[in-house]
A and B are shown apart, each in its own frame.
Chain A
């Protein structure tokens, strides 16, 4: 065990750092949703042109084909440099794209992957439904096979970027009468297909960042199924292996920067003399350090054995909960100023309010604790 970087790693880190310092846009990501998407696309294209998009994606589809360690270094430097949030490219880059890499046909990969990497195609996710949240296997939105077409009926909800997405990764019940994980299919859905209606939902932070989607006899080609009809659950689960615990590295570095900013702020205001505040800040700093150490452990595990340890699920849970504790501490330090918050503001209050999603989206903390109890401690399955 050691924490010493190799000369190659140091060189790569310097390369990342230099490029980022010279190329990060000086303007902030716009608040307006349409402007924000244009900004996200332009930045993604800039990354692609310079060879920084898809560090660990296959070279054949426009990626760099580099190792996980290099991916980690890039993500760390990216966040440290204060580079823009990935924004509307989030689902394509972090979820849809990786799923396609692992499961799609050559034809599907050749069409979609370069478009995702270049920021030309925005993706959204269609997993959750009004009656299938934590219990995702309860999916009811269905697709009937009609010749070489799928005919979709039903509704998806909590879909981020739905209003701007070109494509959707959609899990459907393609076998009538099937139950739970069986009979599901993972399909690529063109969001411009007739019969799709997007109803934006406002968050308590004021933003319209997600939506409910209705499908009324929506016809998409059967050829858009990925990994074969009926294998949807397996395809969806495979994505987790691609990310291998690195999906939160940028978030973790950001948490580190947030803690430092809070410490500086508390020093400047004198709030740090409050023992309770000082203790929370000290705790947060220790936790950020431990989270980073744990991520390194996970990355080392993947480098050695090709797959993450069972503790990767701990990283996810802890990142989300620590993020919320920091947001809350920020609000505490801000005092009465938080009361001035108005819809449309982009402040620590909106971050605080949006941050509640961290322990809900993509598997609630309760589900994560079930997984930890069952997979790490071998306790009996409750579900």
Chain B
């Protein structure tokens, strides 16, 4: 039993943080530069858990939480899962099924997309010429496809769990980004002659963000290790991780805007990017109630 990163894992996290700072600033999430994808691919993150690379899920979530903090492209999740369970490492967009429709995100340069259907991971081939335009989450250009394209299941139930895990890691990162943004602003913004973070009303709002992050990140670690260990409670632990991560991302996204005041509701400021990302991630492998309430973990 050991739930903190090893020194190797810490080094991996530090390298990810450094790279993200230089190459993946959060402010750019509304429009990422062309060519970013090949750089992300070159870093090896999209295929970390494939058999020939061989990292465990615990290391993977450490990296993906950092990427999530930069609001990295959401197709990193679908691509990593597709690479692990189909062996095909090409860029794979993400899709959500909604009745007869589907919403494909981040379809640029993708010939296929991955999503969940009836808690199985499925792959759809994307025809050429799909038109994607900015949606709620500006970082992930959206194509609404009606009726939905046909899709084929990935022949392994682990794939869906993997997607839920990485989605939770991105949501934890998103929640932490909002927390850090709020705390930083609470230190520099002054009213009544002091930093607003001095006032308990604001300090406690920020403290609650830290609490949500700590809980969500802890459960994320546990779920990743449960997946690595083939633990019998893995489905529950993943569902719990995703639920708490989604909540943390959404509530912190909202709290961060409140801390920023009027600035927070402008387009030019960045808090809304976290909020919008949180709403989007909420539709990615949402935890099933019967699993959360099922057999005791």
Contacts and interface: CB of A to CB of B under 8 A. Distances in A.
A306 interface: no
A238 interface: no
Nearest to B243: A286
Given A1-B58, A278-B293, A368-B207, 9 more contacts: A2-B1, A6-B1, A286-B244, A293-B218, A301-B4, A303-B2, A304-B4, A377-B207, A378-B183
B24 interface: no
Given A282-B293, A378-B183, A318 B240 contact: no
A37 interface: no
Interface residues of B, number: 51
A379 B289 contact: no
Contacts of A374: 203
Contacts of A379: 183, 186-187, 195, 197-198, 203, 206
A274 B176 CA distance: 33
Interface in B205-260: 206-208, 210-211, 214-216, 218-219, 221-222, 224-226, 228-229, 231, 236-237, 239-241, 243-244
A287 B215 contact: yes
Given A3-B226, A285-B240, A300 B4 contact: yes
A51 B58 CA distance: 37
B203 A1 contact: no
A1 B210 contact: no
Contacts of A342: none
Interface of A: 1-6, 9, 69, 260, 263, 272, 278-279, 281-283, 285-287, 289-294, 296-297, 299-301, 303-304, 311, 314, 317-318, 366, 368-370, 372-374, 376-382
- Looking at chain B's contact residues, the main secondary structure is helix
B210 A377 contact: yes
Contacts of A372: 207, 210-211
Quick one: which of A291, A368, A373, A381 has the most chain B CB within 10 A? Answer: A373
Given A290-B219, A296-B3, A300-B2, A377 B204 contact: no
Contacts of B3: 1, 3, 293, 296-297, 299-300
A372 B211 CA distance: 8
Contact of A369 (B186, B199, B208, B296): B208
Nearest to A1: B58
A304 B10 CA distance: 13
Contacts of B231: 3
B179 interface: yes
Contacts, number: 158
Contact of B200 (A289, A293, A366): A366
Interface of B: 1-6, 9, 58, 179, 183, 186-187, 194-195, 197-200, 203-204, 206-208, 210-211, 214-216, 218-219, 221-222, 224-226, 228-229, 231, 236-237, 239-241, 243-244, 287, 289, 292-293, 296-297
Contacts of A278: 289, 293
B293 A285 contact: yes
Pairs A-B, 10 closest by C-beta atoms? A286-B240, A293-B222, A379-B197, A294-B218, A282-B292, A373-B203, A290-B219, A293-B218, A372-B207, A369-B207
A382 B293 contact: no
Quick one: which of B6, B198, B218, B219 has the most chain A CB within 10 A? Answer: B218
Contacts of B237: 289
Contacts of A294: 214-215, 218-219
A380 B188 CA distance: 11
Contacts of B229: 2-4
5 contacts: A1-B9, A1-B58, A9-B1, A285-B293, A379-B183
